[in-house]
Structure 1
Amino acid sequence: MTMNETPALVLACIAGGALGAIFFGGLWWTVRKSLVSSRPALWVFASLLLRMGLTMAGFYVVSGGDWRRLLACLAGFVMARQVVTRLTRPLDARQALSDQEARRAP
């Protein structure tokens, strides 16, 4: 890997994070919306098609045929999953998690 490729990989990772935030944030929003909808199956199915289409197109564009950029994009996508999962937990679950982490601290 040369110095010229490093910025492209960093940008691919950031783009993967953005795609992941859209995908998993959209999933969270869809689940919440479908719980109060009169047509939850329509919401879930339409959301799936939209989220998958955007994600696959984004991965295709970001990778540009280079497996290293595809892998960097995937790494950003997985990191975004972790962030969205942590941010969308109920407040009491976040508090319990921080209490557990505090007890493990030296």
Structure 2
Amino acid sequence: MDVNLTLFGLAFLWGAFLGLIYFGGLWLTLKTAPDKRRPVRWLAISFVARLTMAMSGFWIILRMNPAVFFCTLAGFFLVRIVLTRMLGRKIKGVGHAAHA
């Protein structure tokens, strides 16, 4: 079995890019939704656009090599964890209500 580490690394980076688009877009959508005239429409359009981009990116990788797909997923969810921790610190009071 020939293991191409470059392919796995690029797949991981591709997953991180997809995660940045999806979860970064989610953060921007939620941040700007209260200022929109029709926030529900804004949320729906954003969801469909983010989901379409992420699923298209995953589909490209899955068609190339199913084993590499899991590296893409790892990059995607690592970005979710990192963004949650980074952006969660910027919001005052997050996590403190449960301890009171």
The bucket for the TM-score relative to the shorter chain is: 0.7 to 0.9
Q: TM-score, normalised by structure 2?
A: 0.83
Unaligned 5+ residue runs, structure 1? 97-106
Secondary structure of 2:2's counterpart equals coil
- How is 1:77-88 mapped onto 2 (pairs within 5 angstroms)? 77-88=76-87
Question: What CA distance in whole angstroms lies between the structure 1 residues aligned with 2:71 and 2:93?
Answer: 31
1:9-28 maps to which residues of 2 (within 5 A)? 9-28=8-27
Unpaired runs of 5+ residues, structure 2, are none
Residues matched between the structures, number: 94
How far, CA to CA, are the matches of 2:86 and 2:61 in structure 1?
26
- Deviation at 1:7? 0.8
Deviation at 1:11, TM superposition (A): 0.4
Q: CA deviation at 1:66?
A: 1.6
**Divergent runs of 4+, >2 A:** 62-65, 90-94
Cα offsets for 1:27-48 (capped at 9, x unmatched): 0000011122121011100000
Using a 3 Å threshold, how does the CA distance of structure 1 residues 14 and 93 change in structure 2: closer, same or farther?
Answer: farther
Identity of aligned residues (%): 31
